[in-house]
């Protein structure tokens, strides 16, 4: 009888413990140990599937171990190569793949076969499957066209009001969301959905995209976000999506939260920022101060809302500072409990954000990823972030 009781208790899992038994609320201070949430981690989607729930729980606990390192388009191309099976600039230098893989869905809405960076969507599916199969995390952004006139994401013609219910572009936009849902629904491994971190309508505190803060009202932005999430989760029954609310730089907490869609529509909190003007003497110091200013606010809000935090995009183009990885990036983020940091793509010889073999910052990058708190793909696989190992992995195996 005792064995049955014990098995029943284990089946419920530690996550079912009452809040008063799960430990005190974390203090709001910027370090890795103090802000790891000990209360149950639940995705905003109450119908999220098991792998997505397990990933979300892992995203809450990982800051106690370190920060996952990510790279955009990592498996598709790099400096001096393109579409070589198993290749990766991060792996060429660090000896391991990144823990987080970023991909962009721009042009999907138009029915194109290639994305905004000319990656074939069929190839992207394979890359996503490969990264997930090895234990990596998938994050998706969406540089979609302006639905008002067919311009690019950077066409700031007012459009948000037109795509909302009652707007003259609403039907068109639903067709775009349908194509998005078709692709997200096609991301499978062994017949089961692959969990993804979806980061739509990003950098909203800037105004360079048609959904930016000067191009729509806060109410319109929130309505756009909720309409998108409701369509994907309720209409199309996609329960493998974790939504990432990611601003550009922001001044204070009120600015960061001005267009926040609500806890029922968001799973992770983040922001995007880049180091500019590397030739200026104070550029490194300014980058570190600016990132830390935002991280203090971000991690405080994340703890209050019970959401993991991330630095969703960052980097220094061409990395002209040989010590940038340890002296700028790591100096800026190492004392904050963020889940991951993602560097942008290695698109061209004049446009790249992680080093390749022989690059002047190669040695410093190796030192950076050599820190035990910087997590690469082997680390996430070892951490079993999807709970595919052991008894429960066997019981629910794909």
Q: Which pLDDT score, from 0 to 100, does residue 94 have?
A: 98
pLDDT digits (tens, 9 = 90+) for 15-57: 332 333 233 333 333 333 333 333 457 999 999 999 999 999 9
SS3 for 35?
Answer: coil
pLDDT tens figures, 346-360: 999 999 999 999 999
The C-alpha atoms of residue 165 and residue 189 are separated, in whole angstroms, by 35
CB 308 within 8 A of CB 58: no
CA 304 to chain centre: 20
Specify the DSSP class assigned to residue 195: P
Q: pTM here?
A: 0.89
| pLDDT (tens digit per residue) in 251-276 | 999 999 999 999 999 999 999 999 99
| Token duo for residue 2 | 């005792």
pLDDT of the residue at 390: 65
Classify residue 24 by its DSSP letter: P
The residues, ordered by sequence, that sit 6+ positions from 129 with a Cβ below 8 Å of its Cβ are 187, 188, 189, 194
Range 160-164 contact pairs with CB under 8 angstroms and sequence separation of 24 or more: 160/210, 160/211, 160/215, 160/216, 160/220, 160/221, 160/223, 160/224, 161/216, 161/220, 163/224, 164/220, 164/223, 164/224, 164/227
For the chain, domains (ranges, CATH) are 44-395 (3.20.20.80)
pLDDT-based confidence at 388, cuts 50/70/90? confident
In the block, which residue shows the tokens 């980061």? 199
Give the whole-angstrom CA distance, residue 141 versus residue 78.
19
């Amino acid at each position: 009888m005792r064995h049955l009781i014990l098995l029943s208790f284990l089946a419920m899992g530690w996550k079912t413990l009452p809040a008063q038994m799960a430990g005190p609320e974390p203090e709001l201070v910027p370090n890795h140990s103090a802000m790891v949430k000990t209360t149950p981690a639940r995705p905003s989607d109450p119908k999220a599937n098991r792998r997505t729930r397990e990933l979300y729980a892992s995203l809450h606990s990982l800051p106690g171990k370190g920060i996952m390192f990510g790279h955009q388009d990592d498996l598709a191309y790099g400096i001096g190569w393109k579409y070589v099976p198993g290749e990766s600039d991060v792996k060429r230098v660090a000896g391991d793949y990144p823990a987080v893989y970023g991909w962009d869905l721009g042009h999907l809405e138009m029915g194109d076969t290639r994305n905004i960076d000319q990656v074939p969507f069929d190839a992207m599916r394979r890359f996503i499957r490969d990264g997930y199969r090895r234990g990596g995390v998938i994050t998706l952004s969406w540089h979609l066209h302006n639905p008002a006139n067919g311009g690019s994401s950077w066409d700031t013609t007012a459009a948000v009001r037109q795509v909302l219910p009652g707007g003259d572009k609403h039907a068109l936009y639903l067709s775009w969301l349908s194509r998005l849902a078709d692709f997200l629904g096609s991301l499978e491994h062994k017949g089961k959905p692959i969990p993804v971190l979806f980061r739509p309508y990003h950098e909203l505190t800037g105004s360079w995209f048609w959904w930016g803060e000067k191009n729509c009202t806060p109410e319109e932005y929130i309505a756009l976000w909720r309409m998108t999430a409701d369509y994907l989760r309720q209409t199309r029954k996609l329960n493998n999506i974790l939504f990432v609310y990611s601003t550009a730089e922001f001044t204070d907490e009120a600015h960061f939260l001005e267009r926040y869609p609500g806890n029922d529509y968001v799973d992770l909190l983040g922001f995007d920022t880049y180091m500019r003007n590397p030739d200026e003497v104070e550029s490194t110091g300014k980058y570190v101060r600016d990132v830390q200013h935002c991280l203090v606010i971000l991690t405080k809000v994340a703890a209050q809302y019970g959401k993991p935090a991330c630095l969703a995009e960052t980097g220094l183009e061409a990395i002209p500072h040989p010590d940038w990885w340890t002296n700028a990036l790591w100096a800026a983020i190492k004392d904050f409990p963020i889940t991951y940091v993602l560097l942008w793509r290695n698109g061209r010889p004049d446009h790249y954000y992680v080093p390749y073999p022989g690059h002047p910052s190669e040695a410093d990058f190796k030192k950076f990823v050599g820190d035990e708190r910087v997590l690469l793909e082997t680390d996430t696989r070892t951490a079993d972030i999807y709970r595919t190992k052991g008894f429960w992995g066997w019981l629910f195996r794909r």
